[in-house]
Amino acid sequence: MTTSPNSVVRQIHSNKRHSNRIYTVLEYNYIVFPITLGLLFYIFKKAIDVTGYYVSVFEDGWNRSAIVHAVLYGLFLLLQMPPCGNTLGLCLPMRPNKLSTHPKTRRLGTLYVCLVTKGANVQTVVNSVRCWDNLPQRDHPSVRYHVVLDSNDPGDLPSLLPSYVTIDQVPDVVPVKKARFKARALEHFQHKYRFSKEDWVLHLDEESEIDDRVMRTTFDFIERGTADFGMGTIYYTSTNHWKNAFLSAAEVSRLAEDFGRFQLPIRMFRRPLLGWIHGSWILINGEIENKIGWDTDNVCEDYWFGYHAAAQGFKFEWLHALVREQPPCTLTDLWNQRRRWYTGILSFDRIIVRLALISGLLGGLGTFMFPVIGMLGVRIAVPHWYRDFIIFNDAANLHVLLSSCILQDFNLTDLSWISRVWHAVMTCTLGPIVHFVHIMALLSTMLYPARGFVVIRKA
């Protein structure tokens, strides 16, 4: 069903206001979330005092079951790389508006807003481009808007896009050695425009919806920052939000992981963890585009690019603005999407990269395994302080899931409080199942890697 332009415009303005409200909260994340974590720990502990949970206090020191539990629990924490990374990323100061107060130290040549599509999801592309229509920066002399179309048959898409958008159709023959699929399209775009050091490319997927804050953050990053590569937060709220509880819960788990595996290394060390970056809402300096390029046969081309950019010493920074996308429409789409990611990462010739993927998923397994065992009636006796340590970690894992779910829902204007509470309950309930599916997808990929680049369906 086609969405009317007026309704899209109203939705964009409304979501922009909520995006700014979210960052009003995140400006004080180092105060807000430690307090909410402390409250949840207190409530959790009081509830466990009544129910018994799966541990009891053993006052005479350590026993065999407590030692075995501590060894396994410690191993799972270490495998998370870093331990409790999601909680640290949520609670350490973000300072989302810091660049807006810095002086301008760099000149902007041309900013290329680059949306890549196979052309299979036409209405999705049209909806994303409509978000550009009312941007205050739309007529900025340094901004160029491009849709890179990787298809021999453009169909009706060119006639549905506004005149200020340049359509770059990928030719049959592109001078590449290995690049395929999206990497081939990006390599064509890079070859065609040959960026200068003052040029930048804002990479978007076909369903990426941006607003004024995204553009303002982009300009501040370019003109007032010092980093070469930016990556920002993605909320999965544009379409099909909680139409399917499992699929939406899976995206909440991605958002929770964003605070740790993605944000934390960039905010602390100005580089990603072994190349963990998104494929959308990334801002790359033209010098990096030219130096690294996209000529890779890796089906996870974004991870490949991020790994090599970090390895060559380019500096990264987090972009504090929200791009709205949508979750996969079906479980099959989610399964194929995850398998493609895992295939690309496991194809790296660096064993540390492959081990990081495997250990991260196995480390997350401990988050759910021990509470589930407790629900089955297993009880162990541990020292008092260790019991509190276990409860705190379980509360912290629950807290980051709840915080991610609530923040994402806060981006929407038409949700009732009952719906928000229900989403939070389902997120916590389905979290273990989501993680189990991810592990099964990883195991299946290790046995037989994904073939090709499956474009998932968009509503």
% of the chain surpassing 90 pLDDT: 62
**31-53 pLDDT tens trace:** 999 999 999 999 988 888 887 77
When pLDDT is averaged across residues 19-41 and rounded to a whole number, the result is: 93
- Whether the full predicted model's pTM is greater than 0.85, yes or no, is yes
Whether 281 contacts 232, CB under 8 Å? yes
Q: Given this model, what pLDDT does residue 459 score?
A: 67
Residue with the larger pLDDT of the pair 78 and 346: 346
| Of 146, 180, 98, the residue nearest 347 (C-alpha) | 180
Whether 236 contacts 255, CB under 8 Å? yes
Quick one: pLDDT band at residue 7, thresholds 50, 70, 90? Answer: very low
Q: Given this model, what pLDDT does residue 450 score?
A: 87
Q: Given this model, what pLDDT does residue 114 score?
A: 97
Q: Identify the structural domains of the chain with CATH numbers, from first to last.
A: 24-92+352-447 (no CATH), 98-329 (3.90.550.10)
Task: Show contacts of 68-71: CB within 8 Å, 24+ apart.
Answer: 69/370, 69/380, 69/382, 70/382, 70/386
DSSP per residue, 301-341: HHHHHHHHHHHTT--EEEEEEEEE----SSHHHHHHHHHHH
> Residue 312 pLDDT > 70, yes or no?
yes
Q: What tokens were used for 190?
A: 């890079």
CA distance 241 to 323: 14
Query: CA quadruple 116, 119, 124, 126: dihedral positive or negative?
Result: positive
Whether 209 contacts 428, CB under 8 Å? no
**63-112 pLDDT tens trace:** 787 888 888 888 888 888 778 889 999 999 999 999 989 999 999 999 99
Whether 459 contacts 126, CB under 8 Å? no
Q: Given this model, what pLDDT does residue 1 score?
A: 40
Burial class (CB in 10 A: 0-12, 13-18, 19+), 313: exposed
> Residue 58 pLDDT > 80, yes or no?
no
Q: Given this model, what pLDDT does residue 10 score?
A: 42
Q: In angstroms, what CA-CA distances link 105 with 221, 223, 226, 334?
A: 10, 6, 8, 42
Q: Given this model, what pLDDT does residue 18 score?
A: 58
Q: In angstroms, what CA-CA distances link 359 with 70, 314, 364, 432?
A: 18, 26, 8, 17
Q: In angstroms, what CA-CA distances link 249 with 80, 86, 431?
A: 20, 16, 7
When pLDDT is averaged across residues 383-411 and rounded to a whole number, the result is: 90
Q: In angstroms, what CA-CA distances link 240 with 158, 216, 249, 290?
A: 26, 27, 12, 37
360 Cβ contact list (under 8 Å, min separation 6): 79, 80, 81, 261
Q: What tokens were used for 37?
A: 């974590």
Tell me the backbone φ, ψ of residue 377, rounded to 5 degrees.
Answer: 105, 0
CA dihedral 211, 338, 176, 194 (to 10 degrees): 20
Whether 149 contacts 117, CB under 8 Å? yes
Q: Given this model, what pLDDT does residue 40 score?
A: 96
Task: Give the three-state DSSP class for 233.
Answer: strand
When pLDDT is averaged across residues 312-321 and rounded to a whole number, the result is: 96
> Residue 4 pLDDT > 50, yes or no?
no
CA distance 171 to 221: 33
Q: Given this model, what pLDDT does residue 13 score?
A: 43
Q: In angstroms, what CA-CA distances link 89 with 34, 57, 92?
A: 11, 31, 6
**146-195 pLDDT tens trace:** 999 998 888 889 999 999 999 999 998 898 989 888 999 999 999 999 99
**Which amino acid is present at 136?**
P
> Residue 9 pLDDT > 70, yes or no?
no
> Residue 62 pLDDT > 70, yes or no?
yes
